[in-house]
Structures are given as structure tokens and as C-alpha cells.
């Protein structure tokens, strides 16, 4: 992967093909801590900004349906984390929260984002908690999807993700095998969400094979054999939040226990939670309408009602 230095928005890609259902937003590139990072921008630059951070095996355009709904009132900036999507892979395997927070700090500085809303799913949610607690002067509101203290360390969801990471194939013999793989991992995923995931996590190889766009091997090493010094306790960051915070939990999620969500609200009155019944860990995929409605209610100061 190219690790050369680039300036803010120094390259604008052609974006998805016109036939893609999520063919909205502008593809842009920026250098963050020496790595070329890709992000997608929706909306007028003069509007209030929302930065969106995806999960462990995801990508920026996973938020395209939400961004399209918010683009009339906000500037949306969704980032491909290092090692994912169209961002550079990290040759040193620095796939830890500290690195993601450092990237976000540079991203906000380089784009001049003095005040913005921060939204993160899973891994992106952990990054969001840490950044918001560290930079209360910048984050006006925080929205986190289905992660809390301990989620990535223990419990059914953490163990499931470890099994999935350990069993991730290095490539697929054809496109249908890739489709079957994701359908097996997430049987309830909608056709639209599955099509988006296949489009943005894979690239064609030789002889009909399909390869990961993400550095799955490096990401797996950091998750399955982590540096003990990098283990993150999110509780101090939850306690340190100074902005209005909404935690959206999948009612059927195995990753964020209801008891943990309740404890978060008890420890910090700025935190409120909302469950979406029937949704799993990927709430924004499993029930996009309810997820978008909660986000819109929270951003406009209305009562949050699933």
C-alpha cells in the first residue's frame, strides 16, 4: 500500500459506480500519521459537522443511508480506518484504539473541525469515547452504537468475534463464496446491506478470486494476540464524558449487555441509552429506519423513542 504523503483532499476519487445504491458523497483522501486515509463527505461544508467511525471489519460507506438522510442539515464525514476500505494498511500493525484516536485527532485538526458531533459503531465507538473524553471542547454530542466497557474483552460477543476473526478466509474462490461467507456470519442481514458490504470490503483478484480490501491478517493479530499494554478500560472515559451522549444498543445484541448500558447511565448522567428491539450488533444495518430516527431525534433535541 502507498504510504506516501498527501495533503488534505489532495485526491478526489471517482466514487462508486452510478449503479451503486450508495453512490452518494464525495471520496476524498488525506494523510494521517503517515498513512493515506480515505473518507467520504456528504452535505454542505458550512453545515454542522458529524464525523462517523465504523467498526472492526467495516468501512466508511456503511453509513451511507444515515448520511443521505442527514446531509440536508449536516456535513457528514465518514472515515475508512487504517487498514480498511481505501485507506492504507499499517505496515507496523498498529490496529489499536490509541492509533485510531491519534488518526482522529489529526483528521479533526487538518480539516479545521473545531466543534462537531461524533458517531461511532463498535470499534469506532471505542475510539469515540476516548476522543470525546479527551477533547470535550470539540465534541458537541456523542452517539455510540453497541459498545461499552468490557465489550471487546469478554462476553459472548467478544468470543464470537474472536472465533470469526480466527476463521476468516484469506480469499474467496469466487464472488458467490464471499456472499455465502457474509450471509453465514450475519444470517439476518438485508440484501441492501449485504450488497454494500460485498462492494466495499472486497476486490477482484486473479482467476476469478476475490480478496479482502482490508488488512484482515494484521487486524486479526491485534485482536487475537494483543499487546497487553494496549488493553483499554473504557470506564474512565465514560466517566469523563462532558457532552450529551446517546448509546444505541441492539436489543438482540450479544456485544453490549443491557446491564452494562444501565451502569453507564448510572455513572454519568450525560449518558442515555436506547434499545432497538430485534437488532443485533450491527444496529444501523439491522433496522436502519429506527437507527436513523433515533439519531435524528437526538440531534434535534427531541425525546429519544425507539
Per residue in 101-146, pLDDT (tens digit) is 999 999 999 999 999 999 999 999 999 999 999 999 999 999 999 9
Is 20's pLDDT higher than 90?
no
How much is the mean pLDDT over the chain?
92
Q: What are the boundaries of each domain within the chain?
A: 26-156+228-299
Residue 41 forms beta bridges with which residues? 26, 77
8 A C-beta contact, residue 1 and residue 89: yes
H helices within the chain, ranges in order?
Answer: 64-70, 97-110, 123-134, 156-166, 175-185, 191-201, 216-224, 235-239, 258-267, 283-286, 288-299
37: left (phi over 0), alpha (psi -120 to 50) or beta: beta
pTM (predicted TM-score): 0.92
Q: How confident is the model at residue 23 (pLDDT cuts 50, 70, 90)?
A: low
**Superfamily of 26-156+228-299 according to CATH:** Alpha/Beta hydrolase fold, catalytic domain (3.40.50.1820)
The span from the CA of 70 to the CA of 67, in Å, is 5
8 A C-beta contact, residue 42 and residue 68: yes
Closest CA to 165 of 118, 223, 205: 223
The span from the CA of 299 to the CA of 52, in Å, is 14
Bigger pLDDT: 282 vs 18: 282
Q: How confident is the model at residue 229 (pLDDT cuts 50, 70, 90)?
A: confident
Is 19's pLDDT higher than 60?
no
**What whole-number percentage of the chain has pLDDT above 70?**
92
H helices within 54-155, ranges in order?
Answer: 64-70, 97-110, 123-134
8 A C-beta contact, residue 219 and residue 56: yes
Amino acid at each position: 500500500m502507498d504510504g506516501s504523503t498527501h495533503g488534505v483532499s489532495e485526491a478526489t476519487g471517482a466514487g462508486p459506480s452510478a449503479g451503486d445504491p450508495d453512490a452518494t458523497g464525495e471520496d476524498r483522501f488525506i494523510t494521517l500519521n503517515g498513512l493515506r486515509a480515505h473518507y467520504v463527505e456528504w452535505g454542505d461544508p458550512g453545515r454542522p459537522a458529524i464525523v462517523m467511525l465504523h467498526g472492526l471489519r467495516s468501512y466508511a460507506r456503511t453509513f451511507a443511508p444515515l448520511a443521505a438522510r442527514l446531509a440536508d442539515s449536516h456535513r457528514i464525514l465518514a472515515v475508512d480506518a487504517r487498514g480498511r476500505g481505501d485507506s492504507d494498511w499499517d505496515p507496523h500493525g498498529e490496529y489499536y484504539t490509541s492509533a485510531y484516536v491519534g488518526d482522529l485527532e489529526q483528521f479533526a485538526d487538518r480539516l479545521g473541525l473545531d466543534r462537531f458531533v461524533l458517531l461511532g459503531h463498535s470499534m469506532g465507538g471505542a475510539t469515540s469515547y476516548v476522543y470525546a473524553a479527551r477533547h470535550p471542547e470539540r465534541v458537541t454530542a456523542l452517539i455510540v452504537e453497541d459498545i461499552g466497557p468490557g465489550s471487546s474483552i469478554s462476553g459472548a460477543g467478544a468470543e464470537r468475534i474472536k472465533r470469526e476473526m480466527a476463521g476468516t478466509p484469506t480469499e474467496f474462490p469466487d464472488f458467490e463464496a464471499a456472499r455465502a461467507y457474509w450471509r453465514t456470519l450475519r444470517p439476518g442481514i438485508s440484501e441492501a446491506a449485504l450488497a454494500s458490504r460485498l462492494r466495499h470490503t472486497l476486490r477482484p483478484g486473479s482467476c476469478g478470486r476475490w480478496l479482502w480490501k482490508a488488512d484482515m491478517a494484521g487486524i486479526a493479530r491485534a485482536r487475537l494476540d494483543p499487546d497487553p499494554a494496549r488493553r483499554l478500560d473504557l470506564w474512565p472515559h465514560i466517566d469523563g464524558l462532558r457532552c450529551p451522549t446517546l448509546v444505541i444498543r441492539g436489543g438482540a445484541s450479544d456485544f453490549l449487555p443491557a446491564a452494562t448500558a444501565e451502569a453507564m447511565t448510572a455513572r454519568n448522567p450525560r449518558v442515555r441509552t436506547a434499545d432497538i428491539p430485534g437488532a443485533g450488533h450491527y444496529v444501523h444495518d439491522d433496522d436502519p429506519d429506527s437507527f436513523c430516527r433515533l439519531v435524528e431525534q437526538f440531534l434535534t433535541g427531541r425525546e429519544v423513542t425507539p
